[in-house]
Chains A and B, each alone.
Chain A
Amino acid sequence: MKITSEQVDYVALLGRLDLTREEKQKYQAQLDDILKYMDMLAEVSTDDVEPMAGPVELYTPLREDEVKDSLPIEDALANAPARVGTSFRVPKVIE
């Protein structure tokens, strides 16, 4: 196996996914198959090849530093699952 059940647990935690035991078993087997398929990339010689992040030459577009209207607070909060006043409500983080 290219991927162990411990690695599946670890990756699920990194990805913030609470997976069931059945899901973990299924993904372990499927990820293993997929990663084996990816092995073909090892055949390709990529010495001295620059990696490509995207098709467009990225640059930092600059704009005038003008004050513009922001999203109104009520609009920004309209989709929130929970709110208090003008804030998003979240579970307590600091004990």
Chain B
Amino acid sequence: MANFYEMTAAELARILRAKEATSVEITQSVLERIEAIEGKVRSYVTLDPESAVDMAKEADKILGAGKGRPLTGIPIAVKDNMCVTGKRTTCGSRILGNFKPPYDATVVRLLKDEGMVILGSANMDEFAMGSSTETSYWGTTRNPWNTELIPGGSSGGSAAAVAAGEAIVSLGSDTGGSIRLPAAFCSVSGIKPTYGAVSRYGLVAYASSLDQIGPMAKDAQDVALMLNLICGHDPRDSTSVPREHPDFTDFLDRPVKGMTLGLPTEFFSKLENEDVAGAIADARRVFEALGVKFVELSLPHLDYGIAAYYIIAPSEASSNLARYDGVKYGHRAEEYSGMIDMYCKTRAEGFGPEVKRRIMLGTYALSSGYYDAYYLKAAKVRTLITRDFRKAFESCDAILCPTAPSPPFRIGEKIDDPIQMYLTDVFTIPVNMAGLPGMAVPGGFSKDGLPVGIQLIAPHFQEAVLIQLSAAFQRATDHHLKRPPL
């Protein structure tokens, strides 16, 4: 039998229900795995084994009383930007280095109510600003498939933990690709739900009109189980949309014959990497064999996605991050002269280079005289990108495209070249701009044995379509069953 840490949440849930193992035993298996490999991978900012074992004991009581829910007793890693009462939540930043939230994020409360076992907080780019996890104040997470490579970002810790068996499932957040990119680079499955499907209450804000929380897991089935848990209306988040979500597990076994996938010509004109092009061609063959039809379509404003995003996201960030002033919580500089100087020195010490760069960019874009040329223009281009997708979905059920333009790159390779780093998100950013659901699924491996992800994009609130297509793809392929040789 495989080790517990290698199994999916669905498999472990069956084992728990059949009383073949306890949550404490499963949690111990994951904790031992962490003990063995965390020094190489560094998925976590803060680990809390004692608290995890306590939560597992509670889960065993619930299960013993016959009151278990689908994910009761399953160990999970939570990205370091979601508030957990009394547990250090740093957002990968020095400025929140000692911050212990006095409340739970809504998603964290849902995990606790379910009886899930929280292992600790997963590493991330500082304030989720990055595509490689290199901007974390706590150091870079390593790609479990090759520890000289980045795991992708910003939810790099959440992806690496699942890939390496240091968590069964995890939560990430995605503002411009931060769930899907690391999922692709670490060969796990991850979904960015529709904007408004999952509550952002208690998620440390980066760019509020783009941020969305979502699950990362070993396969589509576990993603569906997690979506069932976290999707729903929350009165504490005014952008949370009141609507009924289906039981996503109902879509796992549905045939996909007769469905139509769109291939945006603009995405494919950019495909220079043979490994990525090969993975998409392979995926197309798999879907065609399952009876899926393909249509070519056009998203003419796609090329402007990155430029518009890197105006809108830093603008929102420069405003959101104004709260870090050394007064109510977080780091405060020791020496200063007067209030303004206290702010300036506190923020200079507390934020890292990428966060400062984006605050500067956003502050500039919103400053007097530049607002119309930058922010307003970008907000209009955002409308055009959204219209493109709406038109595209008139002829297809979902869109198939790459997640990243290349397999994972080397640590340090792009960190001093912001534009090259930003271009990593060329296939993921448009999805956030339009608020659509997008899912990354393992799509195979490069010639060098590195993970390559495919991405599926659906209309608003059609997560079920993504689950249906991903599950069908995973029944026909075994990429998602491969584990890194650590």
Which residues of A are at the interface with B, using a C-beta cutoff of 8 A? 3, 7-8, 10-19, 23, 27, 30-31, 33-35, 37-38, 40-44, 46, 49-56, 58, 60-61, 63, 71, 75-76, 78-82, 88, 90-93
Q: A56-B239, A71-B103, A81-B331 are in contact. Are A33 and B419 (CB under 8 A)?
A: yes
With both beta carbons as reference points, the residue of chain B lying nearest to A88 in the complex is identified as B327
A71 to B436, CA, bound (A): 35
Nearest Cβ distance between residue B109 and chain A, in whole angstroms? 15
| A55–B339 CB distance below 8 A | no
| A76–B359 CB distance below 8 A | no
Nearest Cβ distance between residue B422 and chain A, in whole angstroms? 8
Choice from B331, B381, B436 contacting A44 with Cβ under 8 Å: B381
| B380–A51 CB distance below 8 A | yes
Choice from A18, A52, A79, A91 contacting B382 with Cβ under 8 Å: A52
Q: A37-B307, A49-B383, A55-B194 are in contact. List 16 more A-B contacts (CB 8 A).
A: A11-B367, A16-B343, A30-B418, A31-B361, A50-B383, A51-B379, A51-B380, A55-B460, A58-B238, A58-B239, A71-B103, A78-B102, A79-B99, A79-B102, A80-B328, A90-B327
Chain B interface mostly helix, strand, loop or mixed? helix
Interface residues on chain B, size class: 35 or more
| B304–A44 CB distance below 8 A | yes
A52 to B309, CA, bound (A): 12
Which one of B217-225, B344-352, B474-482 is at the A interface? Answer: B344-352
Which one of B40-48, B370-378, B438-446 is at the A interface? Answer: B370-378
A60 to B239, CA, bound (A): 10
Give per-residue flags for B59-72: 1 if the beta carbon is below 8 A from chain A beta carbons, else 0: 00000000000000
| B209–A54 CB distance below 8 A | yes
Considering residues B325, B341, B356, B386, which has the most beta carbons from chain A within 10 angstroms of its beta carbon? B356
Residues of B within 8 A of A35 (CB): 364
A90 to B327, CA, bound (A): 7
Q: A55-B209, A79-B328, A93-B339 are in contact. Are A41 and B307 (CB under 8 A)?
A: yes
| A56–B435 CB distance below 8 A | yes
With both beta carbons as reference points, the residue of chain A lying nearest to B364 in the complex is identified as A11
| B344–A38 CB distance below 8 A | no
Residues of A within 8 A of B353 (CB): 23
Residues of B within 8 A of A82 (CB): 332
| Count of chain A to chain B residue pairs whose CB atoms are closer than 8 Å in the complex | 162
| A46–B380 CB distance below 8 A | yes
| B374–A38 CB distance below 8 A | yes
Residues of A within 8 A of B327 (CB): 80-81, 88, 90
A52 to B336, CA, bound (A): 41
Q: A34-B361, A81-B331 are in contact. Are A54 and B318 (CB under 8 A)?
A: no
B340 close to A (CB within 8 Å): yes
Choice from A30, A33, A80 contacting B329 with Cβ under 8 Å: A80
- Chain B residues 287 to 333 lying within 8 A of chain A, measured CB to CB, are 301, 303-304, 306-308, 310-311, 318, 322, 325-332
B8 close to A (CB within 8 Å): no
A37 to B361, CA, bound (A): 13
A92 to B238, CA, bound (A): 36
Choice from A7, A12, A91 contacting B342 with Cβ under 8 Å: A91
